[in-house]
Structure 1
Amino acid sequence: MSKKVRIGIDVGGTFTDAVVIDNDTYEIIAKKKIPTTHDAVGGVATGIVNIINEILQDNNISPLDVNFIAHGTTQATNALLEGDVAKVGVLGMGTGIDSSTAKSGTHTEDIELAQGKFLKVYNRFVDSKKLNEALIEQSIEELKSEGAEVIVASEAYSVDDPTNELKVIEKANQKEMFATGGHEISQLYGLKVRTRTAVVNASLIPKMMETANMTEQAVKDANIQTQLMIMRCDGGVMSIDEVRKRPILTMLSGLAAGVAGALMYEKVTDGIFFEVGGTSVDISVIKDGKVMIKNAQVGGHHTYLQSLDVRTLGIAGGSMVIVKDAQIVDVGPRSAHIAGKEYECFTDAKNLVNPTIQFISPKEGDSKDHAIVVSETGQEYSFTLAGAANLLGYVPEGDYAYGHKEANYKAWNALGNYCGMTAEEAAQQVIKIACEKVMTVVNMLIDEYELDRNYVTLVGGGGSASVLTYALGKISGHKVQIAKNAPYISTIGVALAMVREQIEKTVVNPTDEDIKKIRAEVIEKIVKSGANEDTVDVMIEIDAQKNILSAIATGSTEMRSKDLNQAALTIEQMTKKASEAMNIDTDSMQFIQNVARWNLFNAPIEKKSLFGLMKKNMNRLCVLDREGVARLRKEGAYYLVFPKSAIQSDFIDFMNDYTVYSDANDTIPKLFLFYKEKMLDLTGIQSLQQILSIMEVELEFVLEDDQIIAVAYQ
């Protein structure tokens, strides 16, 4: 039987990368890098078809053996940054006493995307009661005559009844114009933000439609039978048909791909992920095995686009060193790339003859205090963070960022002499400044997302992963992990990404029926986006303060066999892995029970207070999957193992035992359930009745005697 593979392609500004991954073992079979074909007749699609053909032929892989193919693209992000977008006409609608509010809510001003770059918007408003085919046609023609290339239909309360928006879209399509409606982008009330999000989406449609058609044809030309998937900004993928409707979802997808690779390939439970390049580091959060997302902004305006929460800093492998009055005072944000200088650590020692220190302005207007080392032969090299990390031994031999020791030492020795210290002391100062900058953001993210500092792992990806991550671990005391094939981690993320969909609705006090309905809708939506329904997991969240009901679905494009083929670990091996995950001695860890894929461990502890007079017994719980990966780690948590038949008895008693009762309201504990192959996150649910309603749906095909693990915590 031939080996099935997954292909990931990452289209960057400079290079297009591809990886081939074994579908069962997730091992990398091949990787390739070619220049991105911006100037080709077929655009970036030319490079995609070239790299697909080359990587298949070079590795003797049949197109019929490709189970999954996806690509990530920066095209939507670049189009917005460069202002290369279509002009948009908004046809707003509303009636009655809400008419004036609807007119204001749908009226969208030009959006400044970058300095001097605007998304042009033209507006018309009609009374919904007077809406007819002739009025729709007249309004579209007026918008078109002003310059509109794409139409957005936006009506108050269209999330409840999109009929009029659909009429406008149909009429625009008849006139061979692209069109979209506010209800297609978001199910949330909030007409102004919904309209603005639809406008940004519409502005991207013509360019992305052209690229979608070309890339889809590229895959067909390669005789690959599976459908092409595209990376989303929240770390998932979607079908190319969905890209044609909602290209906005590909915005920032390049940032999402790296953490998706760390999440899927490295099986991280709780961590901070760094994608470290030459100029900047992108920092994101993984909590309980999930990437953290938030609403994105475009041109300083809020949208309903859910994207990866990424913090970017100008600290990376190529960050330059700033020296004033013989004192090292800063690192970055300028990089050697921006200054047009080579790294000091990547040249040969023979190129540094009697090196001396000079200072430059990387760009016009920059201060002239960025240190470079100059050979008496006239060759110039920048001091970099990569050089400091290499000198101090943070970059292991064979690493992508590993440099030439002798040349690097000669350069840093010259800088040390200039500053009145050793080469090592100079490098340590540079590393300290860089790490302090990054740790400020890391600590802020840990607090913001309430991560347990005892269990946070720092995960490095990107070509300069080792330059920064190991030093951060040493300074902070956190565990450190460099992603396998770190320079290709984004491309791996594309190849291993899951299909993802999310629906948000404005619902006050959602009923059982509301929850079941949104769950069914998100499953239908994700299956349309290419997921196999058997693999779909749904998480329901209720935000009582904002009256938002959310359903988040993830699934893969086919049933993966890796978990089923994995050789079973012994209890001793599992116990060791649980101990490592919880940072405690193996002797303290107790195995509680195995339920299908899941293994529950506990390390009881006794907490003392009031000078030891008060004692409290606490659990440190850890749930491992069958591969030995920690999927949940909680201190101060409680557990119950029960059959489905005991939901109305033992489970309800368990929840009541750990519910906090007060005059204002009753606060149920956060809850996770583990059964069969599934980990069900119910932490966003705020009443026991809602939990029971979701369990009724989720456990429909679970047998009455099947065991379930419940983990609860406040």
Structure 2
Amino acid sequence: MSKVRIGIDVGGTFTDAVAINNETYELMAKLKIPTTHKEGVAVGIVKIIKQLLEENNIAPEDVNFIAHGTTQATNALLEGDVARVGVVGMGTGIDGRGAKKETNVQEIELAPNKYLHTAFEFLDSNALSDDQISETINLLVEKNSEVIVASEAYSVDNPENELKVIDNAKEKGLYATGGHEISQLYGLKMRTRTAVVNASLIPKMMQTANMTEQAVKDTKISSNLMIMRCDGGVMSINEVRKRPILTMLSGLAAGVAGALMYEKISDGIFFEVGGTSIDISVIKNGKVMIKYAQVGGHKTYLRSLDVRTLAVAGGSMIRVKNKEIVDVGPRSAHIAGIEYECFISDSTNFADIEFVSPREDDPCEYAIVKCEQGNNYSYTLAGAANLLGYIPDGDYAYGNAENNKKAWKVLADYLGMSVEDTARKVINVATDKLVGLIDELVHEYELDKKFITLVGGGGSGAVVVPALAEKMGMQCKIAKNAPYISTIGVALAMVSEEIERSISNPTEQDIKQIRSDIIEKIVQSGAKEETVDVSIEIDSQKNVVRAVATGSTEFRNKDLNATELDEDALLKISSEALVTPLETVECRCKTGRWYLMESVTEQKKFLFKSKIRSVAVIDREGVVRFKREKTNYVIFNKQERENVFIPFIDENTVYSDANATIPKVFLFYKEKMLDLTGMQNMTQLLSIMDVETEMLKDDDSIIAVAYK
């Protein structure tokens, strides 16, 4: 039998599992069981794995990858179920006073009336002795500290003193971590805060990690268990024990990771739509957009997916006031404990409208319909979408059309409107809430609406996305196996790691060093070195150099369904991606796995005509990794760096009295796409280019695309 990848997604209500063929990436099996809260999550994991294997005749030895996503870290923070942290702050001399203030983070409010409590002691790092450290840790233990954090000014340059504190604490049987282990950026206050949040999660996550690891071993699966990270990658369970904070928000990351890998999205906005809320994230140039996460309103050095959440979803209830529809949500039928009107299977006669308060402090404006049989059903956004034909037959959210229409007739009569107008009003109220946010994301990430696809995932993707795309004049699609897209994302995720360092004007040696360090780090997290792909970003405004690495746990092609397409098929895909007629698209050049396609169309405005040039770079399997209007390109051999590439960059550089602004640049060669858009000057750009292309031969060709 072919090797199998298993993904498990542990949610608050259900635990989902999928089995995916490791060679074809086809979904072989899917399973859903209630989450085992009382017996413990590990019991549920054992149960669902065994059931998945038995029902589909999968032998444990055929499983070569297994990973699970968990909401435990997020839930622990929301519920305040965290350990008390003892902080050992350190500094000396002129910087000592500032270090004492910045390492004393005090208590952090995680949620309303839920706090992370800390105890604090400060040491002069210039006169540090083992006895002093031991005495300080004892003081923190007396203050009920369960975990120790060591944080010293400039420890990212020399972590020796932090390591002394960590070793001493571990000798006493305590969990301990240091600021330098969490982030290598300057910024003592934020680094300490991030380390404290991480430390507060360690005891609970250690217990869970041990139980889940043993649970997988009990199923006789020999592959190491991987855990979903907040950036859409996975890491080994050993790394979870050290850095549990990286699993925070990982549940939100899994869905978009599935869309990215399974649906080959290049530029799009992904909507994971459930019953109560929508999680929205951005994909640009085949990458998910990431930013620093906040905990209790405070910034941390944890980089996670940029996810925006709104309380509009399939189960959102309809609010009515003075015989007018005034809102959709934020409460859902799930919160109210009332069934959806569109999923009634038995023949039902509806009697009258009533209004309820889903929660005690809610207004009594949420409409439900009473049945002659005595049951109550909620009006929902899913019901409105079904009425207007947005939900295709066979979709997870497809309802009973006859009963749904009968139920909505009662509401429409109460409002003095037609059934269709009532449903349309509800859809408009809901999508109006989303339009502003989508426009904000488009502006923030400099997306081109013409090239964006809105992608629906989750059980209610079809409830929201088609109507929103229609309103905004954009393309849309519902992800394949949308209700299981998060679990698929877990099964298909790559190992991921990241290092950030504070470096002003990085040299080529700085870049080589951080590249070497990130490869070592990702291998420790479970990736095979041969599969590792590294990208380097430089933020000159903040003096930050960032290395991001992805890799696989075994030898495999990371592009799904990797069947090489002929040029005609690639032209057709490029035409669709560029939203331009097929006859206008031509292949201009190719190298390695990459084809550069260009479309030239004529646009008439008043009496004037102008040509619009659009460029797409597509790989041999049909994944569009770059598309944009007003883009210039050149193909050159490595040995032509000086006489072709540098003049090309110079031609696309904007010069002013103050400075020279180089263009945004991508390079494509062999199997690699190199993003150089974060470079601020030619020196930085060439340094990274030289490091990344070091192993190329002189006659190897490179495609460069540049835009201003």
Corresponding residue of 1:651:
645
Report if aligned partners of 1:293, 1:307 keep a CA contact under 8 Å in 2.
yes
Report the secondary structure of 1:508's partner residue: coil
Partner of 2:706 in structure 1?
712
Task: Measure how far apart 1:608 and its partner are.
Answer: 7.8
Taking a change above 3 Å as real, the CA distance of residues 610 and 480 of structure 1, as seen in their structure-2 partners, is closer
Name whichever of 647-656 and 486-495 sits farther off.
Answer: 647-656
Per the TM alignment, residue 689 of structure 1 is displaced from its structure 2 partner at its CA by 2.0
- Residues 398-421 of structure 1 show CA distances to partners (whole Å, capped at 9, x for unaligned) of 111111111101010111111111
Q: What code does the residue aligned with 2:600 have?
A: P
Match of 2:486 in 1: 490
2:33 aligned partner: 34
Partner of 1:207: 204
Task: Write the deviation string for residues 250-274 of structure 1: whole angstroms up to 9, x where unpaired.
Answer: 0010001001101111010111100
Q: Is 1:505–2:505 an aligned residue pair?
A: no
1:478–1:390 CA distance, 2 compared to 1 (3 A): same
Which residue in the other structure is 2:294 paired with?
297
In structure 1, the partner of 2:192 is 195
The residue that corresponds to 2:355 in the other structure is: 359
Equivalences for 1:347-426 in 2 at 5 Å?
A: 347-351=344-348, 353-426=349-422
1:678, CA displacement in angstroms?
Answer: 1.0
User: How far apart are 1:619 and its partner, in Å?
Assistant: 2.8
* CA deviation vs aligned residue, 1:413-443 (integer Å, no higher than 9, x gap): 1111111111111001000110111112111
Q: Please give the per-residue CA displacement for 1:623-657, whole angstroms capped at 9, x wherever unaligned.
A: 11111121100111111111112112211111111
Q: CA deviation at 1:99?
A: 0.6
Q: Structure 2: which 5+ residue stretches go unaligned?
A: none
| Alignment match of 1:523 (pick from 519, 522, 543) | 519
The residue type paired with residue 457 of structure 1 is: T
Cα distance in structure 2, aligned partners of 1:288 and 1:254: 23
Deviation at 1:663, TM superposition (A): 2.1
Are 1:455 and 2:454 matched, yes or no? Answer: no
SS of the equivalent of 2:705 reads strand
Residue matched to 1:25 = 24
Other-structure match for 1:155: 152
Is the contact between residue 460 and residue 481 of structure 1 (CA under 8 Å) also seen in structure 2?
A: yes
Please report how far the alpha carbon of residue 568 of structure 1 lies from its aligned counterpart in structure 2 after TM superposition: 2.9
* Residue 584 of structure 1: how far off its partner (Å): 0.4
Equivalence map 1:100-249=2 (5 Å) = 100-249=97-246
CA distance in 1, matches of 2:249, 2:284: 20
Is the partner of 2:625 in helix, strand or coil?
Answer: strand
Identity value in percent = 63
* 2:68 pairs with 1:71: yes
Secondary structure, counterpart of 1:366 in structure 2: coil
Are positions 1:559 and 2:555 aligned together?
yes
- What is the identity, as a one-letter code, of the residue corresponding to 2:341? E
Tell me whether 1:341 sits opposite 2:335 in the alignment: no
More deviation, 529-538/327-336? 529-538
Asked if the contact 2:262/2:560 (under 8 Å) is kept, the reply is no
TM-score with structure 1 length normalisation? Answer: 0.97
Alignment partner of 2:281: what SS?
strand
2:578 to 558, 575, 582: 582
Post-superposition CA distance 1:178-209 (Å, at most 9, x none): 00000000001110110011000000000001
Q: Note the C-alpha offset of 1:481.
A: 0.9
What's the offset of the Cα at 1:695? 2.0
CA contact (8 A) 1:25 1:562 kept: no
Structure 1 SS opposite 2:347: helix
Residue 426 of structure 2 is matched in structure 1 by: 430
Say how many residue pairs are matched: 708
1:345 and 1:404 in contact (8 A); partners too: yes
Per the TM alignment, residue 594 of structure 1 is displaced from its structure 2 partner at its CA by 2.2
Q: Deviations over 1:224-243 (max 9, x none)?
A: 22211110111111111110
Answering whether residue 661 of structure 2 is matched by residue 667 of structure 1, we say yes
**Equivalent pair of 1:540/1:685 in contact (CA under 8 Å):** no
Note if contact 2:24-2:561 (Cα within 8 Å) is conserved in structure 1.
Answer: no
Residue in structure 2 matched with residue 6 of structure 1 by the alignment: 5
| C-alpha distance in 2 between matches for 1:518 and 1:310 | 28
Q: Is the 8 A contact 1:349 1:406 kept in 2?
A: no
Q: Distance in 2 between the 1:214 and 1:359 partners? A: 46
Q: Using the alignment, how far apart are the partners of 2:79 and 2:375 within structure 1?
A: 35
> What residue in structure 2 maps to residue 442 of structure 1?
438
The alpha-carbon deviation at position 471 of structure 1 amounts to: 0.9
- Determine helix, strand or coil for the equivalent of 2:617: strand
8 Å Cα contact 2:599/2:614 also seen in 1: yes
- Counterparts of 2:311 and 2:612 in 1: how far apart (Å)? 42
Identify if the C-alpha distance between structure 1 residues 350 and 606 changes in structure 2 by more than 3 Å, giving closer, same or farther: closer
- Secondary structure class of the residue paired with 1:686: coil
Residues 11 and 36 in structure 1, CA contact (< 8 A), matched pair in contact too: yes
Q: Aligned pair in 2 of structure 1 residues 79, 456: CA closer, same or farther (>3 Å)?
A: same
Are the equivalent residues in 1 in contact too, given 2:552–2:558 (CA < 8 A)? no
Question: Within 2, Cα distance between the matches of 1:593 and 1:563?
Answer: 22
Tell me the distance in 1 between the aligned counterparts of 2:184 and 2:557: 35
Tell me the distance in 2 between the aligned counterparts of 1:169 and 1:371: 58
1:43-122 aligned within 5 A: 43-122=40-119
Question: What secondary structure sits across from 2:517 in the alignment?
Answer: helix
TM-score, with normalisation over the residues of structure 2? 0.98
Q: Is the 8 A contact 2:665 2:676 kept in 1?
A: yes
| Cα displacement (A) at 1:354 | 4.0
Match of 1:677 in 2: 671
Deviations 1:26-82 (A, max 9, x none): 110011111112211xx2111112211211121111222212111100000010111
Deviation at 1:216, TM superposition (A): 1.2
CA RMSD of aligned residues (A): 1.5
Counterpart of 1:469 in structure 2 is: 465
Q: Secondary structure at the match of 2:382?
A: helix
